[in-house]
């Protein structure tokens, strides 16, 4: 589920990149005059920001879950050691 959004955004960026390349071809330029080729740049920036944001969230979740697992394992080991020493 976490990977669905970044994959969709990357696909959109790749598709838009192909459109930008197509627009830069001489054939397209001869057909369309006065087109703003920088119009897709904000979309690209938004896509990159979304991908980076989702990546940061995923890394944060993985780190938090990892820390929780380590704390639980250490707590269980401490309890086992205390029980063994007392008994």
pLDDT for 44 equals 82
**Could you give the CA distance from residue 58 to residue 72 in angstroms, rounded to a whole number?**
21
pLDDT for 81 equals 93
At residue 32, the 3 state secondary structure works out as coil
pTM over 0.85: no
Residue 37 Cα to chain centre, angstroms:
26
- Contact call for residues 53 and 87 (beta carbons, < 8 A): no
pLDDT for 19 equals 53
Q: Where are the domains of the chain?
A: 4-86
Let me know how long the chain is. Answer: 87
Q: What secondary structure letter does DSSP report for 14?
A: H
Tokens matching residue 48: 């990159």
Torsion of CA 67, 73, 75, 77, to 10 degrees: -150
Per-block mean pLDDT, blocks of 10 residues, the chain (87 long): 58 55 52 54 83 93 96 96 88
């Amino acid at each position: 589920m976490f990977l669905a959004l970044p994959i969709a955004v990357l696909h959109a960026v790749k598709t838009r990149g192909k459109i930008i390349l197509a627009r830069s071809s001489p054939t397209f330029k001869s057909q369309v005059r006065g087109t703003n080729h920088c119009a897709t740049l904000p979309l690209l920036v938004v896509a990159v920001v979304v991908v980076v944001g989702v990546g940061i969230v995923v890394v944060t979740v993985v780190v938090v879950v990892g820390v929780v697992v380590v704390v639980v394992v250490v707590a269980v080991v401490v309890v086992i050691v205390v029980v063994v020493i007392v008994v």
